[in-house]
Chain A
């Protein structure tokens, strides 16, 4: 039996004007278990808190009920008060007699009657409260960033600058991501490489950052503060520590016919390669799919010419185990495949290109060294048609239902730059809507139309057909003039929808982080916790969470870093002790709870039990990770046997409240 103290607060006149506080404390003093009941003007004041502390000591109280304002206001205060007097803070219950009683009722008798009932409910609950201790778990002061694009780079730099170790895992041989492939950036038109590559160098030189390039995450175990990650470092057949990045091998390799993915296959590279000049780490990688030595055992030229002796054909994939306190997902995006959009003749004509390919064509380091030339014949195009929303905002199932967000702006950029460099070129942009929310964005778009004479046409392209003369017939509607246009174009540029990288889905499974139907990672809260995954310790950076442009990505990357820093700054994590727990003897092992847990806090183990019939049995039972559980209680209702219960809001506590209220 608990020894309960009841403290009724007047809240000046806020409560006392409508609730007869002494009648309340008098009535509650007769409840079973109540050994002390009083009322006071301001319970939250120092004097009020001292009253509570004194009573706890004097009467040896094991639980206290405070009839006052909303627990959202002062629950934490009174818990501290209790703790200061040596009472477990979770032995405190608040009866909300202000916001939910005195402030909404005018009649004193009614309000007093209700306050008494609310007090009784709190007493009934506190009878069943048990002292709870928040579990502590140590925090590994190291973060993992998955993905080495601008999002990953920025997050890693920000975390490292705060003094924490960061590892970046990047699946390709260099960090840099999509941004490294871009030419200029809107709306300021500064060159992508000029602003990105210094950051890449910063990463490479930062003493707190380690880059695992050409590596992938293989497995993730553990939980917030204490993840155990296995990283697969793929064999690149070049000793990273020895290679100087001189590039000699990449010039001498006899296998010249490898499509260059950095230029989206528009030109060729060798079997041993460095993706681009400013790659970080600047080390060569042998493409095992094309290397003659690795495929047939003959050749070995690169080994011979490498003065540093970095080539190692016997290299194997390496598995690295590392512990992290936090994980940031920055897996980025890719343009979608255009297989479902035959009408644009993308696969039929080399002169129909995606916007990213167009970026490479206009990039000084691209396949045409920055000359705007048609891929088919290398001639300068005179009419270019840009098509917006290719695969975006598409609910027919061919594309993506969402707006890819960046296309309007980069298309304006492409159109503008084309007109600037080649004023003799006619540029048409077919659009459904032009969306330019962002600083200086609309001005930028209007400049393209007004100053650079780009023809913006409201309407969609219905068909692109290669003609015999090498031109492309573009058939489109102009909705404003209500006519169908037929344009003979030299080039067509498709603003292709973007989608999360394919590696995101299996990664989400490993991380038990949730995803939406489009494979974008879900935020813990769409408004209030936009850079956190619902799974504790997993953070989101960049386009893995949704389409974004560079400034947005960078600011989200910084925000994710701030969250990580906040986490890693702690030595231990104090979990909310109001978490689910499973009575193993009652657990069926059916997995219902696991399925509804939004945090992946429940796992199953096979465990040996001494059963009531004295036999020993191996049973599959649920185990709650208290560091991960957030205490929502979804599992408690999913559990048919009632094995799963929630501390602080247990079945019996809630039912006791129900009983007291309905008496």
Chain B
């Protein structure tokens, strides 16, 4: 796949369709991939990579890249196309400056899955059928691919590319995903358990803002948490309240806009399952106002920007669940 993509990129560079390519660049180790812009075929030959570690969603970079001269080629995995579409809908990307190439994705590896299995000192990884052979300083390990996949990939919502100029490989389908299972599990807890669960998670937050800065929906020119005039700006949570507030407000601001790309949870250095907040909103929206997938199209009104006179009342929250 990497070879086909590199060829495609070079072809489009050479025939002048695009003048830059947004893709992934090799790192020091096997897994430390960095998003990068390639300006010529030499750079692509030298450093372009696409493999099981190319997890970054490149669509957010297009806010910046599409405003530059010329056209940029971007490689988009199925889930990235949703983010791309959503950004288009919000007029954040200049569409005619982008050449979007859809690429297939079999799920990406979450390094923490390996670390959790006490695999450390990784110096090389090989793929063998459905397994990975991991070479470490302290010996080799074989691990099933499935056990190394990121949560968001195990619960992949769609293999379909909702937008592209060109597609490499065949398009997939929207999947019947189990992504709300964990949300349901939390909903089934008692309020005390839920509170303890989220306190346990949020208390680890170091407010590094990685979740916010990587999020394609969090593309504000100036975030309310950075804006002293907003009244809620803060740099670090000085009290547990501020930990809660940051995550509640952030989730609320992306509600109805979050495509559930899962980047927030991927980048969290403290492994806080932030996607469970976004998925809660998605699940509620689906239940209260009808199924809605952000990024699926560019026309429909976001659920919070529309209403129905027959909408449920907020009191439904008291009736639901019944856990006291």
Contact = CB atoms under 8 A, between A and B. Distances in A.
Contact of A589 (B92, B230, B254, B305): B92
A73 B133 CA distance: 78
Contacts of B91: 589-591, 604, 620
B305 A595 contact: yes
Contact of A652 (B220, B224, B231): B231
A591 to B, nearest CB: 6
Contacts of A67: none
B222 interface: yes
Contact of B219 (A588, A618, A643, A651): A588
A645 to B, nearest CB: 9
A591 B92 CA distance: 10
Contacts of B117: none
Contacts of B306: 595
A194 interface: no
A109 interface: no
A248 interface: no
B221 A641 contact: yes
Interface string B197-241: 000000000000000000000011111100101110000000000
A592 interface: yes
A585 B305 contact: no
A585 B219 CA distance: 14
Nearest to A593: B305
A590 B223 CA distance: 14
Contacts of A305: none
B92 A590 contact: yes
Nearest to B250: A640
A587 B92 CA distance: 11
A642 B224 contact: yes
Contacts of B301: 595
Given A586-B221, A588-B90, A642 B230 contact: yes
A620 B67 CA distance: 12
A590 B221 CA distance: 11
A595 B304 CA distance: 10
Contacts of A604: 91
B302 interface: yes
A617 B92 CA distance: 13
B253 interface: yes
Nearest to A651: B231
B221 A651 contact: no
Output the residue of B90, B92, B254, B301 with the most chain A CB within 10 A: B90
Contacts of A655: 231
A642 B221 contact: no
B305 A641 contact: no
Interface in B81-109: 90-92
A640 B253 contact: yes
A643 B223 CA distance: 10
Nearest to B220: A641
A591 B220 CA distance: 13
A596 interface: yes
A595 B301 CA distance: 8
Given A585-B222, A589-B92, A617 B67 contact: yes
Q: Report whether over half of chain B's contact residues are helix, strand or loop; otherwise say mixed.
A: loop
Given A617-B67, A651-B231, A652-B231, A592 B302 contact: yes
Output the residue of A620, A640, A651 with the most chain B CB within 10 A: A640
B305 A642 contact: no
A638 interface: yes
Contacts of A620: 91
Given A651-B231, A652-B231, A585 B224 contact: no
A652 B302 CA distance: 27
Output the residue of A591, A596, A642, A655 with the most chain B CB within 10 A: A642
A587 B90 CA distance: 12
Contacts of B302: 592, 595
Contacts of A588: 90, 92, 219-221
Interface in B281-324: 301-302, 304-306
A638 B304 contact: yes
A591 B90 contact: yes
A592 B219 CA distance: 14
Interface string B244-257: 00000000011001
Nearest to B67: A617
Interface in A573-593: 585-592
A509 to B, nearest CB: 14
A655 B90 CA distance: 29
Contacts of A641: 220-224
A303 to B, nearest CB: 50
B231 A640 contact: no
B90 A586 contact: no
B57 to A, nearest CB: 18
A581 to B, nearest CB: 13
Contacts of A592: 90, 302, 304-305
A652 B229 contact: yes
Contact of B305 (A587, A618, A638, A643): A638
Nearest to B63: A588
Interface in A407-452: none
A590 B304 CA distance: 13
B10 to A, nearest CB: 30
B92 to A, nearest CB: 7
Contacts of A640: 220, 224, 253-254, 257
Interface in A67-116: none
- 3 shortest interchain CB distances as A-B pairs: A641-B220, A590-B90, A595-B305
6 contacts: A588-B92, A588-B221, A590-B91, A638-B305, A640-B257, A642-B230
Given A589-B90, A590-B90, A641-B221, 13 more contacts: A586-B227, A588-B92, A588-B220, A591-B91, A638-B304, A638-B305, A640-B253, A640-B257, A641-B220, A641-B222, A643-B222, A651-B230, A651-B231
Interface of A: 585-592, 595-596, 604, 617-618, 620, 638, 640-643, 651-652, 655
